[in-house]
Amino acid sequence: MEFDLVVIGTGTAAMVCAMRVAKAGWKVAVVDEKPFGGTCALRGCDPKKMLVAGAEAIDAKQRMARHGVKGDLRIDWPDLIRFKRSFTDPVPEKHARQYEKEGIVTLHGTAKFTGPDRLSVGDQEIEYRKILIASGARPIPLDIPGEEHLIDNEGFLELPSLPKRIVLVGGGYIAAEFSHIAARAGADVTILQRGPRMLTQFEPELVNWLMDAFDRIGVCVITDTTVDSIRERGGAYVVHASGEGEPIEVEADLVVHAAGRAPAIERLDLEKGGIAVENGKPKLNEFLQSVSNPAVYAAGDAAANGPPLTPVSSHDAKVVAANLVDGNHRKPDYKGVPSVAFTLPPIARVGLTEAEANNAGLKFRLKCERASDWFTARRVAEAVYGFKTLVEEETGRILGAHLVGPGADQAINIFGLAIRHGLTAHDLKTTMFAYPTGASDIGYMV
């Protein structure tokens, strides 16, 4: 079989690029060893956010219990999972139909390079003129005894019932979000984080404020701790860890891998395709093209060129599609990409951190305030609300914005718009936002 373009993966980057190139008249195929749809639609963003919806209902009731809201409320985990599956189950067939409509050939199986212009999918040999690696990411190996007992994000999102005692290994997005879901569904949750704090991608002041929400729901966060092994005992597990003090043992009915992800390229036999790898990812030029095999491009989590976010995958795919069809001329631009951890309340960032701005030698005005007494927080009885903003002194441009609290996941997009399009603090201050909304606070944050 011969194709103008073969795409490995069927997530956001894969679909966006395949569709655009197929519309340009190319003969295109996509291949995936998992159900079509990719991480975001099936195993990540979307299903997670559907579970968060249940946790939000519990959170709102608990916050408003002393303010006029009465009655019992609980999460029925099997029903919540069925609600999630009402979205995820139709995705693979829906994607297959979209590919068929555009004349894109769909292949199921594990792709492996067998040469610089060919690969195998099962017992089929495929020749290609160009190829896009959009195979997503996988949990990084921990290389500890008992690692086989861990489940990953995919396993958590498919749990038919929720175990009582849960340990999350790691302290990033997955640990933060899953702990808030599980605790509000009635589980006893412990987080074991190697570093001195959770959510290291976010500003320390805001993470410290957010930890009050972890305390409020009873999530036990143990930092500066390394997980050494996981062992079965009496039908459950014991997680052995070490830190600055005494050795730690935590009993669990479920242990979740939340210690980071890396490009899922280890099974592709990239060496046979003449594809150079550096630091665990394909070595690419500024056009997202392999430096060693010009027929090969990469996008999204597999490229690991920009932040590991769904909008970045889509952006990468548009860049690659343009370069494939019209020749290399577009480069990715990751300026002003917001990132959110969907804890309750959420924490969000866009642009530079204070440390990054200082390292760049920029001169800026800094505003940092915990704003629990502002109306946006008081209206919903949420004590965790605050911001940190960086405004360039000479130009007034927004350099960075960091939010935690009610509506942070929405308000951060306004700051993202400002950063990407060069809007200033004056522009935001003189914008008339609807009131009373969380966005109406933005003028006071800069």
Question: What DSSP letter does each residue of 144-191 carry, written as one string?
Answer: -TTGGG-B-HHHHTT-SS--SEEEEES-SHHHHHHHHHHHHTT-EEEE
Reported as a pLDDT band with limits 50, 70 and 90, residue 195 is very high
3-state SS record for 271-298: HHHCCCEECCEECECCCCEECCCCCEEE
Name, in order, each residue with C-beta under 8 angstroms of 41's C-beta and a sequence gap of 6 or more: 11, 12, 47, 88, 91, 95
Length of the chain: 446
| Residue 398: per-residue pLDDT | 98
Which pLDDT score, from 0 to 100, does residue 368 have? Answer: 98
Whole-angstrom distance, CA of residue 88 vs CA of residue 50: 10
User: What was the pLDDT predicted at 246?
Assistant: 84
Is the Cα torsion angle 66, 69, 74, 79 positive or negative in sign?
negative
Tokens read off for 38: 């990719």
Q: For residue 319, what is the enclosing H or E element?
A: helix 310-326
CA distance 208 to 305: 29
pLDDT over 90 at 136, yes or no: yes
For position 244, what pLDDT does the model report? 82
In terms of pLDDT, which residue wins out, 31 or 246?
A: 31
Structure tokens at 250: 């935590």
For 293-314, write each residue's pLDDT tens digit.
999 999 999 999 999 999 999 9
Taking the CA atoms of 301, 306, 308 and 314 in sequence, report the sign of the dihedral they define: negative
Q: What is the pLDDT of residue 249?
A: 95
Can you tell me whether residue 359 is helix, strand or coil? helix
Nearest to 445 by CA among 357, 379, 348: 348
Q: For helices 12-23 and 91-101, give the axis angle rounded to 10 degrees.
A: 20
Q: Of 212, 216, 227, which Cα lies nearest the Cα of 171?
A: 227
Percent of the chain beyond pLDDT 90? 98
Cα separation, 274 vs 269, in Å, equals: 9
Phi, psi of 370 (to 5 degrees): -85, 120
Q: What's the confidence (pLDDT) of residue 311? A: 95
pLDDT of residue 130: 98
Assigned token pair, 353: 């951190």
Please, what are the domains in the chain? 2-139+262-326 (3.50.50.60), 147-259 (3.50.50.60), 339-445 (3.30.390.30)
Q: What is the pTM of this model?
A: 0.95
- E strands, 9-63, are 28-32
pLDDT at position 434 over 90? yes
Rounded to an integer, the average pLDDT of 203-212 is 98
Beta strand ranges found along 277-351 (DSSP E): 277-278, 281-282, 296-298, 339-341, 347-351
What is the average per-residue pLDDT within 123-137? 96
β-strands 137-139, 124-133 pairing: unpaired
241 DSSP assignment: E
pLDDT range class, residue 406, cuts 50, 70, 90: very high
- pLDDT tens-digit series, residues 208-220: 999 999 999 999 9
Distance between CA 389 and CA 400 in Å, rounded?
6
Q: Sorting pLDDT into bands at 50, 70 and 90, what band is 337? A: very high
**CA–CA distance, 42 with 90 (Å, rounded to integer):** 10
Whole-number pLDDT of residue 245: 78
CA distance 211 to 206: 9
* In contact, 339 and 324? CB cutoff 8 Å: no
Question: Quick one: angle between helices 204-216 and 173-184, nearest 10?
Answer: 20
pLDDT digits (tens, 9 = 90+) for 262-291: 999 999 999 999 999 999 999 999 999 999
| Percent with pLDDT over 70 in the chain | 100
User: Nearest 5°: phi and psi at 62?
Assistant: -65, -40
State residue 54's pLDDT score: 97
Binned at pLDDT 50, 70 and 90, residue 113 comes out as very high
| Per-residue b or e along 344-368, where b marks 16 or more CB atoms closer than 10 Å to that residue's CB | bbbbbbbbbbbeebeeeebebeeee
Phi-psi region of 141 (alpha: psi -120 to 50; beta: other; left: phi over 0): beta
Rounded mean pLDDT of the chain? 97
When pLDDT is cut at 50, 70 and 90, the band that residue 64 belongs to is very high
Average pLDDT over residues 88-117: 97
pLDDT tops 90 at residue 194: yes
User: Is residue 97 pLDDT above 90, yes or no?
Assistant: yes
